[in-house]
Structure 1
Amino acid sequence: MIVDLLPRGGNEATTINPPAGVFHISTHGSDWLWAAFSVIAFSFVLLFGLSFTRPRGKRAFHHIGLVILITASIAYFTMASDLGYAPVPTEFRGDHQTRQIWYTRYIQWFLTLPLVLIELLLTTGFTLSDIMMTVAAAWVLVLAGLIGSVVQSTYKWGYFSFGCVALFSIWYIILWEAPRRPFPQEELRSGYYLCAAYVSFMLITYPICWACSEGANVISPTSEMVWYGILDIITGPFFLFFFLFVNRKAEYQVFDLQSGKYTPHEEPQPVSAKAAEAGQA
């Protein structure tokens, strides 16, 4: 249990799992990660309970949110335990200096960012191919950040540029392309504008944090954890509850998102004798 992992004497995660790298998180950084984990995990439990207030077949948005929150919970549990990282040589800190780079966080983003965008775009008239292109741009953004974070030389900023191009593509889609489409339920258009602006603003804050942490190594890993943790809480639980609130009047039948929906098999029609003979012929 989590209680057993947090001994009565205090948080011993960095003692049980000693950090590697010259620049690594402190015990206070681990404390913050446990706090962030608690917020995200509690949000998962709350959203799980709220999903039962919706009738069956009208929980698609809730279920996507649950996947986002459980993924983030596992990631933050791992990082709070001082696990899921690799020591990587730094660019601006001199020779033989290493920094903790948390690949766990990029795995989390690889899964959760596309789901946030899918949840947002499902309220629009976007086709599946359009949504998949947005998901692909999100994957490029995350992978570029991961690769750039483990590159020691200035070439890391080339990957940062690739990520920025992917970010601009996402902005173009959710701020320009999607609003131009006819919405299946026009009542949701105003809510979409609010949610799209919310996500667009939050997305620009991540590259800024990356540039100051994994990029230029200006801030410490503990400060990085605090910064990213705040962003993940605002973009995760806060956004999901805001999204569900502004789309509380969504009519799921217009999206064809009924969970558990199936198409019954039609009974085979009897074949006439003449048709059977024609088929044999």
Structure 2
Amino acid sequence: MNAPIELLKRAGNEALRVNPTVADIDITTHGSDFLWAVFSVMAATGLGTMIWSLKLSRGERAFHYLSAAILATASVAYFSMASDLGATPVTVEFTNYGPAEVNGARPTRSIWYARYIDWTITTPLLLLEILLVSGLPLSTIFVTIFFDLVMIITGLIGALVQSTYKWGYYTMGCVAMFYVFWVIYGPGLKSAAHLGDDFKKAYLYSSLLLTILWTLYPIAWGLADGSNTISPDGEMVFYGVLDLLAKPVFALFHMFALRKCNYSSLHLKSGKFSDYEDLAGNHARAIEAGKASEAGLAGSDGTVNGTGIGNGVGNGTNTLNPAPAMRQAHATQ
């Protein structure tokens, strides 16, 4: 009679028993249960995205691989938090939630650095998913990702600070976020419009979804890490719902939005060098022939002063064939 009951107990969530809480204000088993559910969704969607990518040619999987990387990273973070790992106690500035004192001192609250590590990896990848569709130059993309990292890192530092100075970091993070938004809706939208209506719509709709969600994260930070107004379980639900919408839902939405777009217009197609060697060689030979023609050196048979261009047309000496040189350069890399 007691054996089935013991088995049921063992089958339950024992994360907080195995990994005890570290702060006075911390999650409960209910919060851990919710985090396990989010982990399951992240992991399942990431696996599904990788399977979906197998249906595409190898050179057209950039957005699927980005989404899979985002979801894999989030899965690790949520596994850690659901296991009650990846947190550190920090003394609260405000006692809006929880006890006013513990042993004569202000209580501590768990700050989940695992979440910020997740965001440090995933938010730049989310930006890449959008900005690669815009056609913006790499320099603009790099500086936008830099300010995104400033946004995340200042949030982490602010969460770890015990005094009111944390709100200075919070302000800097918000300023960085608004710069990212300016790039998305300023030069980014203008650039995407040049690629055609399909790209403009996909870019705009995906940007709207992501940026609207991102504006809610500072609110969650202010209520949780900042002012200690909501419970840690409430914090997990708030951030968890946002992460579900900003990662698996956004990833699927973005990939479906791009189905009608001409992938080759983005010049993102990748592949082995050997796949394009013949194309590169023919292109180089065409350039050499064009230069020779402009200089008035090419004969009617495609030779330059008796020297064959391309496939050795002419007397067969000193053939200008860039492919071997390209192969040698590639081999030394």
TM-score (norm 1): 0.90
Does the CA-based 8 Å contact 1:206-1:228 persist in structure 2? Answer: yes
1:136 aligns with 2:159: no
> Which residue type is aligned with residue 55 of structure 1?
S
- Pair 1:247-2:263 in alignment: no
Secondary structure class of the residue paired with 2:216:
helix
Structure 1 residue aligned with 2:19? 17
Are the aligned partners of 1:57 and 1:258 in contact in 2 as well (CA < 8 Å)?
Answer: yes
Question: Please, which of 133, 136, 141 is the counterpart of residue 126 of structure 1?
Answer: 136
C-alpha displacement at 1:49, in angstroms? 1.2
Moved more, 63-72 or 173-182: 173-182
Alpha-carbon separation, structure 2, partners of 1:252 and 1:7: 52
Q: Aligned AA for 1:199? A: L
Residue 193 of structure 1 pairs with residue 193 of structure 2: no
2:115 is the counterpart of 1:113: no
1:45-124 superposed matches below 5 A = 45-93=47-95, 94=100, 95-124=105-134
Is the Cα–Cα contact under 8 Å of residues 34 and 77 in structure 1 kept in the other structure?
Answer: yes
SS in structure 2 at match of 1:99 = strand
> How far has the Cα of 1:252 moved from its partner?
2.2
Output the CA distance in 1 between the equivalents of 2:18 and 2:75: 20
Deviation >3 Å, runs of 4+:
6-9, 182-186, 263-267, 269-272
Aligned residue identity for 2:127? L
Distance (Å, rounded) in 1 between the aligned partners of 2:73 and 2:9: 25
Q: Which structure is richer in relative contact order (CA contacts within 8 A, separation 6 or more)?
A: 1
Matching residue of 2:155: 145
Structure 1 position 253, deviation (Å): 1.8
For residues 27-55 of structure 1, give each alpha carbon's deviation from its aligned partner in whole angstroms, at most 9, with x where no partner exists. Answer: 11100000000011110111111111212
Helix, strand or coil: the match of 1:88? strand
- 172, 187, 190: which one pairs with 2:182? 172
- How far residue 259 of structure 1 moved from its aligned partner, in angstroms, is 3.1
* Letter aligned with residue 220 of structure 1: S
CA distance in 2, matches of 1:97, 1:191: 47
How far does residue 185 in structure 1 lie from its aligned partner after superposition? Answer: 4.3
**CA separation of 1:187/1:261 partners in 2, compared to 1, >3 Å: closer, same or farther?**
farther
Give distance in 1, aligned partners of 2:9 and 2:258.
Answer: 42
1:202 touches 1:231 (CA, 8 Å); kept in 2? yes
Contact residue 89 and residue 152 of structure 1 kept, 8 A: yes
TM-score normalised according to structure 2 size = 0.76
Q: Give the root-mean-square deviation of aligned CA atoms.
A: 2.0
Give the secondary structure class of the aligned counterpart of 2:269. Answer: coil
How far 1:186 sits from its partner (Å)?
A: 3.9
Shift of residue 165, structure 1, vs aligned partner: 0.2
Amino acid of the structure 1 residue aligned with 2:116: Y
- Give yes or no for contact 1:185–1:254 (8 Å, CA) kept in 2: no
Question: Greater CA deviation, 48-57 or 32-41?
Answer: 48-57
User: Counterparts of 1:118 and 1:41 in 2: how far apart (Å)?
Assistant: 21
- Give the CA deviation at 1:249: 2.1
1:44 aligns with 2:55: no
Taking every aligned residue pair, what percent have the same amino acid on both sides? 43
Number of residue-to-residue matches in the alignment: 267
Task: Determine the C-alpha separation between the residues in 1 that align with 2:195 and 2:21.
Answer: 51
Secondary structure of 2:59's counterpart equals coil
How far did residue 137 of structure 1 move? Answer: 1.1
